[in-house]
């Protein structure tokens, strides 16, 4: 999608916030641990290549992505650090990964057996272990052993890493978390090789479970300054600095008398004289219809979105007349008022991850600092 550069709506990404979050996590770690920055889904809406280049300057140890295409984008833009694809890649594409020095996830012995038939050179493998997430990975100890033995005997397969993923690392009840960690250790205890990377620590694990069996931190949402738990786990080992602000401007404004309908479906009726401002952002930009009724900041006031959010625009009830071009903050700070991605997520009954990931490519990303 072409960014709408001739429209005032912008996602502003603060590079210094990303640097701060990364360096704070680095300071928590011993020298024998690695940080792989998770830049999948366009770096959670922040811009994968731009974020990766910032982290390259800080000597990040590697990157995690969800798809082979995301990994290739990094390679095509000059990033040479290790890259792990966390999702399942088609066995038809394993040679392409090998040619670009991209590590792939293997979630079964069967996948390894098929993949090796398509390789003309060594491919780095991270073996996925299902310790209780039940999304992907090997669940049986004997299959873990068999898959590891297969990796050792095939010259075109390199046993680089072994990993799992926790389902509840961001929750105060650690019962299931502890059972997953125990299962992970049980499943890998009999493998006959030493993997360079043994990892299970996502952002939440890195923040609240620092003693797990892991020498790699897969630093995701906290890299962008957002709490993985939303507002559930408020105590943090260091401050997180949100990197993304979402801004726009008033594109049109009018005063309506009482009894006027606003927006599709005529769901909102003015109860008295009201000033209605139109803002050029809508659900095609990722500001979804379920955010109707939430508030944004205009001229140092919290103003409610009224009527249904449209594809490209939304309407807001403003307390007083303001000029066209008045700045608008949807995520971020203006004067003493602030709206976080977590605030937006709480209103729409979701998580902050979804809010930033939803921001479409039509919104230009502007990088500062």
Q: In this structure, are residues 161 and 194 in contact, taking their beta carbons and an 8 Å threshold? A: no
Which residues are known binding-site members for substrate?
A: 135, 311
264 is catalytic: yes
Domain boundaries, the chain: 33-224, 244-368
Q: How do residues 143-162 score in pLDDT, each as one tens digit?
A: 999 999 999 999 999 999 99
What is the spatial distance between Cα 304 and Cα 252, in angstroms, rounded to a whole number? Answer: 16
Give the pairing of strands 34-38 and 62-65: parallel
Looking at residue 85, its pLDDT comes to 98
What is the spatial distance between Cα 357 and Cα 335, in angstroms, rounded to a whole number? Answer: 26
Looking at residue 193, its pLDDT comes to 82
Which residues are known binding-site members?
A: 135, 311
Report if pTM > 0.85. Answer: yes
Q: In this structure, are residues 47 and 20 in contact, taking their beta carbons and an 8 Å threshold? A: no
Please list, residue by residue across 260-275, b when 16 or more beta carbons sit within 10 angstroms of its beta carbon and e when fewer do. Answer: bebbeeeebebeeebb
Tell me the pLDDT band of 219, cut-offs 50, 70 and 90.
Answer: very high
Looking at residue 349, its pLDDT comes to 95
Q: Quick check: 192 pLDDT over 90?
A: no
Task: Identify the CATH assignment for 33-224 out of 3.40.220.10, 1.10.3720.10, 3.20.20.10, 3.40.50.360.
Answer: 3.20.20.10
**In a 3-state reduction of DSSP, which class is residue 170?**
coil
Q: Considering 40, 44, 224, 283, which one is annotated as catalytic?
A: 40
Q: Considering 252, 254, 261, 264, which one is annotated as catalytic?
A: 264
Tell me the pLDDT band of 210, cut-offs 50, 70 and 90.
Answer: confident
Q: In this structure, are residues 321 and 252 in contact, taking their beta carbons and an 8 Å threshold? A: no
Looking at residue 363, its pLDDT comes to 98
Give the single-character DSSP code of 200. Answer: -
Other CB atoms within 10 A of residue 85 CB:
24
Per CATH, the architecture of 244-368 is what?
Answer: Beta Barrel (2.40)
- In sequence order, the 6+-apart residues with CB closer than 8 A to the CB of 5 are 364
Q: How do residues 99-142 score in pLDDT, each as one tens digit?
A: 999 999 999 999 999 999 999 999 999 999 999 999 999 999 99
| SS3 of 309-345 | CCCCCEEEEECCCCCCCCEEEEEEEECCEEECHHHHH
Dmax over CA atoms of the chain, in Å, equals 79
Q: How do residues 232-290 score in pLDDT, each as one tens digit?
A: 888 898 999 999 999 999 999 999 999 999 999 999 999 999 999 999 999 999 999 99
40 is catalytic: yes
Q: Quick check: 1 pLDDT over 90?
A: no
Mean pLDDT, the chain, integer: 96
Structure tokens at 189: 């205890």
* Share above pLDDT 70 across residues of the chain, in percent, rounded to a whole number: 100
Query: Which of 69, 12, 51 has its CA nearest to residue 368?
Result: 12
Start-to-end CA span in the chain (Å): 26
304 beta partners: 295
**Which H or E run includes 334?**
strand 327-334
Q: Quick check: 224 pLDDT over 90?
A: yes
Q: How do residues 334-357 score in pLDDT, each as one tens digit?
A: 999 999 999 999 999 999 999 999
């Amino acid at each position: 999608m072409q960014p709408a550069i001739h429209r005032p709506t912008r996602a502003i990404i603060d590079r210094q916030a990303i640097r701060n979050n990364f360096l704070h996590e680095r300071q928590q770690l011993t020298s024998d641990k690695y940080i792989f920055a998770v830049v999948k889904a366009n770096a959670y809406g922040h811009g994968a290549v731009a974020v990766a280049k910032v982290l390259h300057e800080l000597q990040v140890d590697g990157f995690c992505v969800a798809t082979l295409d995301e990994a290739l984008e990094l390679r095509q833009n000059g990033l040479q650090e290790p890259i792990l694809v966390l999702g399942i890649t088609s066995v038809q594409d394993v040679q392409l990964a090998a040619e670009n020095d991209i590590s792939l996830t293997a979630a079964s012995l069967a996948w390894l057996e098929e993949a090796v038939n398509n390789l003309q050179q060594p491919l780095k493998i991270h073996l996925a272990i299902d310790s209780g997430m039940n999304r992907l990975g090997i669940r049986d100890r004997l299959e873990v052993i068999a898959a590891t033995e297969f990796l050792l005997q095939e010259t075109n397969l390199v046993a680089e890493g072994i990993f799992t993923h926790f389902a509840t690392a961001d929750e105060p009840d650690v019962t299931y978390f502890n059972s997953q960690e125990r299962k992970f250790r049980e499943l890998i205890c009999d493998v006959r090789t030493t993997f360079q990377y043994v990892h299970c620590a996502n952002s939440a694990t890195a923040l609240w479970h620092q003693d797990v069996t892991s020498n790699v931190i897969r630093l995701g949402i906290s890299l962008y300054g957002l709490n993985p738990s939303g507002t559930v786990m408020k105590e943090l080992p260091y401050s997180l600095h949100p990197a993304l602000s979402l801004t726009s401007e008033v594109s049109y404004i009018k005063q309506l008398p009482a009894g006027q309908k606003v927006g599709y479906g005529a769901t909102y009726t003015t109860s008295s004289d009201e000033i209605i401002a139109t803002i050029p952002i809508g659900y095609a930009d990722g500001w979804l219809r379920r955010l109707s009724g939430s508030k944004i900041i205009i001229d140092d006031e919290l103003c409610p979105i009224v009527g249904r959010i449209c594809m490209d625009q939304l309407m807001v009830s403003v307390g007083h007349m303001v000029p066209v071009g008045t700045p608008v903050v949807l995520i971020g700070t203006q004067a003493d008022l602030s709206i976080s991605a977590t605030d937006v997520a709480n209103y729409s009954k979701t998580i902050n991850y979804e809010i930033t990931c939803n921001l479409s490519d039509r919104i230009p990303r502007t990088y500062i600092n």
